[in-house]
A = this chain, B = another copy of it.
């Protein structure tokens, strides 16, 4: 019984993630979540207070996955620029867009402080993570002449804006060009190897 309950909660969260992604908050009804999860109404309200609570769990999980994925490259060994390049160039489903960034265009998510929270925290975390890494590169003499916090914001913006350009064009080429341009600008700040 317990394991069935955990499964139901799990299926409800995963179904909410899928539906939020495909239809947005306003287009995701409790009934649609139950149908997608194969879970009855009673079970859903046993596990979650309602759609907002489920959406919060779904968004928090998506945000946690994004942070873990970023940390895989940014926390690796090696020179700072190589880690940032690995992060920027890692395989992404560019035309689908960023699962966290896209939520900023959902008016219902942005209007609800509890739902916007994990979105805001993810970008705050990512900027701080990149800023600390850039500062590490400056301290180690790998990078020179750049301001870590501002550069970190620029890096995150290029990724998010690259998704926008790729979706507009229906092609990943614009995303790749934006990343290429950014890496060329950053590489100009690599200190000459001694």
A residues within 8 Å of B by Cβ? 26-27, 97, 100-105, 110, 116, 119-120, 122-124, 127, 145-147, 149-162, 164-165, 167-170, 174-175, 177-182, 184-186, 188-189
Contact = CB atoms under 8 A, between A and B. Distances in A.
B164 A160 contact: yes
Contacts of A174: 123, 127, 153, 157
B160 A165 contact: yes
Contacts of A124: 169
Closest 8 CB pairs of A and B: A157-B161, A161-B161, A154-B181, A160-B161, A150-B181, A157-B178, A105-B105, A153-B177
A105 B97 contact: yes
A146 B161 CA distance: 20
A164 B181 CA distance: 20
A77 B9 CA distance: 61
Contacts of A179: 154
A168 to B, nearest CB: 5
B165 A162 contact: no
Contacts of A182: 154, 157
A145 B165 CA distance: 24
A150 B168 contact: no
23 contacts: A104-B168, A105-B167, A116-B170, A122-B168, A123-B168, A123-B174, A127-B174, A145-B188, A152-B181, A153-B177, A153-B178, A154-B181, A155-B181, A156-B161, A157-B165, A157-B182, A160-B165, A161-B161, A161-B162, A185-B188, A185-B189, A188-B188, A188-B189
